[in-house]
Amino acid sequence: MTFGYDGRSPGTRRYIKEIEHQGGETHILVGDRASKLEPSYLRSIDRERVRDHDMGTRTRLTLLAVTGYRFYSRKHGSRQANLAYLCGHDGGGRWAVRVPGTTRTVQDALRWLTPARVHDARHANKQVLRQGSIFVVETSAQYDMRPLLLRLGAHNVEQAGTGYLLTHSEHNVLPLQFPCRFVWQKSLTTNRGTAND
């Protein structure tokens, strides 16, 4: 069910359409009785222009969130509920990833989304690349995953001559020029919907 957008900015509306396209929640029905529930909508609570370490560019990210008291039942009443999504735009178009509902800044969302292996590799000055929700992390030849020609969701490792490529229909082709492992970006999924790349 899609509700009106309650006067939000065009940018916020575009991100909400992306979240709906992915099957994610965009509002919380709030109220003290089942017969008097009203939608409380996602709103932009933080924006920041950040440097994408993996692509070497700067991009604007937006954190959308909503907090409300969701009615569960007469017996249990209403309980606080939170939703939050980190949203942006890259070579593959608009994207939105669900993050913990208590997240309040773009930086906190980025820290949560980035796996520990990626943080560790960056601190060890290893090469790290990213294509959508996949991080490519430099490793030793012993643990090189390129020769396995993996299919990682919609991402594919392909052999090209003597090298390897990471491909995806919505992202630029990424040459894999060093022994590497693949690490998935974290994201939340619930039985109410998902919002992943």
Token code pair at residue 176: 């894999």
Shared-domain flag, residues 152 and 75: no
Shared-domain flag, residues 42 and 107: yes
Pairing mode, strands 151-152 and 134-138: unpaired
Closest CA to 103 of 48, 38, 184, 32: 48
Shared-domain flag, residues 95 and 138: no
Residue 171 lies inside a defined structural domain of this protein: yes
Q: How far is CA 8 from CA 29, 41, 154, 186, 190, in A?
A: 18, 9, 32, 28, 25
Q: Are 112 and 99 contacting, i.e. CB atoms less than 8 angstroms apart?
A: yes
Which range of residues forms the domain containing residue 162?
114-186
Give the global pTM.
0.75
| Domains in the chain, number | 2
User: Would you give per-residue pLDDT tens digits along the chain (197 residues)?
Assistant: 344 444 467 778 899 999 999 899 898 888 776 677 788 899 999 999 887 655 566 788 999 999 888 777 778 777 888 999 999 887 667 889 999 999 999 999 999 999 999 999 999 999 999 888 889 999 999 999 988 888 888 888 999 888 899 998 888 888 999 999 999 887 765 444 444 43
Shared-domain flag, residues 12 and 105: yes
Domain boundary among 83, 113, 143: 113
Shared-domain flag, residues 40 and 107: yes
φ/ψ of residue 184, rounded to 5: -80, 140
φ/ψ of residue 20, rounded to 5: -60, -40
Residue 148 DSSP SS3: helix
